[in-house]
Amino acid sequence: MSEEMPNLTRFERRDVDVALTYDDGSEFVITYDDLRHACPCAKCSPMRNEDEASKTLRRQVEAHPKEKPQVRTVGNYALGFEWSVGCSSGIYRFERIWDLANRRDPDNGRPYVHGAW
Amino acid sequence: MADSPVTQHGANSGEVPAEATPQEQKQMEQAYAQMKRKMSMAEIGRKIKHKVMVLSGKGGVGKSTVSTGLALALAQQGLKVGILDIDITGPNVPKMMGLDGRRLHVESGRIHPAQGHLGVKVISMAFLLDNEDTPVVWRGPIKLGAIQQFIGDVEWGDLDYLIIDFPPGTSDEPLTVAQSLPDIDGMVIVTTPQDVALLDSRKSITFSESLKVPVLGVVENMSGYTINGKATANSEVQIAGPAGKTLKATADGEGNFSITIDIFKEGGGKSTADEFGVPFLGALPFDPGFVRGGDDGVHRIVSEPEGPSAVAFAKVVAALQDQIVDSSGSGLEII
Ligand SMILES: Nc1ncnc2c1ncn2[C@@H]1O[C@H](COP(=O)(O)OP(=O)(O)OP(=O)(O)O)[C@@H](O)[C@H]1O
Ligand SMILES: [Mg+2]
């Protein structure tokens, strides 16, 4: 858990990635492929447990057309993304987006076991 | 109580404190325990981002099915979720979550939830019962005390959502919870399309005003029976429904079709919601799989994560999440 996470103030959807601006002035880019590969839903998460399955997930994600997602805020703690194809189930907590922005493993190296968070 | 600062003998023996009588001692310990509980409730309030109560006027309309379904649908999104099952007389959440027969797990004076399907944390009054088939009859004050204890002493950890399942009717339990747990987001009212249930859900909505907990919305349960079938790809399918109505559907490219038949009157939940000016969160189909899931401990959402019931739950959850929008999140500009 990142202790001093700044607040996300701007989420700009570009052609293949999103540009993020935080209230401490820092800026980041996350590609849609990275974002989709990191989907936290109960179906995608377990796929990242093993290298092979994770690569399969990666290939699936990369095969999708590059498109801007619909973005919805979920409460004050997360974002949801709606894609025209592929998985749209995951709710990304701001901590998760912050980890991705900083090129950190949002799963923290922990394999996904139902409930082992 | 090992960590109580109230010790039997004056700790700083330099200044000979007046010795407390055993009765005073007891009172002090109780006051201390109460204070500690209050503090931990405040902390729980902070660590759990959203608290949602699930209520209905009438029994058996599917509160527990909806509570567990909401919890699982939220967990499917990757969120951290807990369920508190307040129903002392007929707790059935553990069964639905595959935790039948669990006992309360206590460690260093804190109660630890059991983990059910998709990692959902569960605390149920059933964990206190010796035999699940004999519902306990608790006297009011004991019951309410147990609820407060359950709220204050459970080690939930960080949660995105806590779903609280109640016994039927508008009684003391919701009041106790609303008074003990800070910042409840609101309540979800479960109803079925029949009129009696509707009348009772109206009562729940009025009740919410007295609790000062907002209604997040109404869910209509058992609202239609969906049948699935196969036909020629892209063809139109017709079925003779109740009351001489013809129901139509179009098969998809692979020939799959599904049609929902309204067994009871349709749209009852929606009209209650409209009448009271509260949101309608959606309808859940009548699905025999829920009954099976209640018996064999594998919830419908787990046994068929992409089936029509799971899809219906996902819609209800999305509508619920739309209701729980905090103003602090609105500083974000999405371009
Ligand atoms: N959508 C549904 N389709 C089919 N059966 C359902 C559905 N919802 C609930 N049931 C079944 O109806 C019964 C009552 O449901 P449930 O226990 O969830 O209701 P409840 O409101 O919590 O009841 P109580 O008032 O006793 O707490 C259960 O057997 C359950 O499996
Ligand atoms: Mg119940």
Residues of B with CB under 8 A from a CB of A: 49-50, 75-80, 115-121, 160, 305, 314, 321, 324-335
Asked which of A4-13, B130-139, B184-193, B249-258 is least confident by mean pLDDT, the reply is B130-139
Q: What is the DSSP string of B240-276?
A: E-GGG-EEEEE--TTSEEEEEE-SS-TTHHHHHHHHH
Q: Are B117 and B97 in contact (CB under 8 A)?
A: yes
Radius of gyration of chain A, Cα coordinates, nearest whole angstrom: 14
Instruction: Please compute the mean of the pLDDT values over residues A26-32 and round it to a whole number.
Output: 93
Q: Is the dihedral of CA A107, A111, A112, A115 positive or negative?
A: negative
**Locus of tokens 């990757």:** B78
Q: Are B204 and B266 in contact (CB under 8 A)?
A: no
Chain A nearest CA to B194, separation (Å): 32
Question: Residue A62: which H helix or E strand, with range?
Answer: helix A51-63
From the list B283, B293, B75, B59, the residue with the least C-alpha distance to B163 is B75
Burial of A108 (0-12, 13-18, 19+ CB in 10 A): exposed
Q: Where in chain B is the domain with CATH 3.40.50.300?
A: 40-223+264-326
ipTM for the whole complex: 0.75
How far apart are the C-alpha atoms of B263 and B242, rounded to whole Å? Answer: 7
How far apart are the C-alpha atoms of A54 and A33, rounded to whole Å? Answer: 13
Of residues B268 and B78, more confidence is placed in B78
Q: State yes or no: pLDDT of B264 exceeds 60.
A: no
- Mark residue B16 as left, alpha or beta (left: phi above 0; alpha: psi -120 to 50; beta: remaining): left
Cβ <8 Å between B305 and A42 = yes
Cβ <8 Å between B325 and A75 = yes
Residues of chain B with C-beta less than 8 angstroms from the C-beta of A117: 80, 119
CA of B292 to the centre of ligand 1 (A): 11
How far apart are the C-alpha atoms of A61 and A33, rounded to whole Å? Answer: 6
From the list B81, B89, B156, B163, the residue with the least C-alpha distance to B128 is B89
Pairing mode of beta strands A17-22, A8-13? antiparallel
Chain B nearest CA to A74, separation (Å): 6
Chain A nearest CA to B62, separation (Å): 24
What pLDDT was estimated at residue B287?
84
Residues of chain A with C-beta less than 8 angstroms from the C-beta of B116: 115
Domain B40-223+264-326, CATH homologous superfamily name and number:
P-loop containing nucleotide triphosphate hydrolases (3.40.50.300)
How far is the first Cα of chain B from the last one, in angstroms, to the nearest whole number? 56
B52-91 confidence digits (pLDDT tens): 999 887 788 889 999 999 999 999 888 999 999 988 777 7
Question: Residue B316: which H helix or E strand, with range?
Answer: helix B308-323
- Mutation for B interface: A77, A82, A96, most B CBs within 10 A: A77
Radius of gyration of chain B, Cα coordinates, nearest whole angstrom: 23
Cβ <8 Å between A74 and B321 = yes
Domains of chain A (ranges; CATH) run 8-101 (3.30.2020.30)
How far out from the chain centre does Cα A117 lie?
17
Q: Which two tokens stand for residue B189?
A: 């009212």
Which ligand neighbours the alpha carbon of B124 most closely?
2
CB-nearest to A116 from B119, B329, B331 is B119
What pLDDT was estimated at residue B210?
73
CB-nearest to A11 from B77, B120, B332 is B332
Q: State yes or no: pLDDT of B133 exceeds 60.
A: no
CB-nearest to A90 from B49, B78, B119 is B78
Specify the amino acid at residue B328.
Answer: S
SS3 B93: helix
Q: Is the dihedral of CA B31, B37, B38, B39 positive or negative?
A: positive
What pLDDT was estimated at residue A20?
94
Q: Are B224 and B284 in contact (CB under 8 A)?
A: no
**Locus of tokens 């109803």:** B191
Q: Whose CA is nearest to atom 19 of ligand 1?
A: B62
Q: Are B139 and B92 in contact (CB under 8 A)?
A: no
Instruction: Please compute the mean of the pLDDT values over residues A38-56 and round it to a whole number.
Output: 85
Which ligand neighbours the alpha carbon of B56 most closely?
1
Angle at B56 between CA B55 and CA B59, to 5 degrees: 120
Q: What are phi and psi of B292, to 5 degrees?
A: -60, -45
Q: State yes or no: pLDDT of B209 exceeds 80.
A: no
Cβ <8 Å between A40 and B118 = no
What pLDDT was estimated at residue B181?
82
How far out from the chain centre does Cα A43 lie?
14
CB-nearest to B325 from A11, A43, A73 is A73
Asked which of B34-43, B79-88, B127-136, B282-291 is least confident by mean pLDDT, the reply is B127-136
Q: Which atom of ligand 1 is nearest to the CA of B65?
A: 18
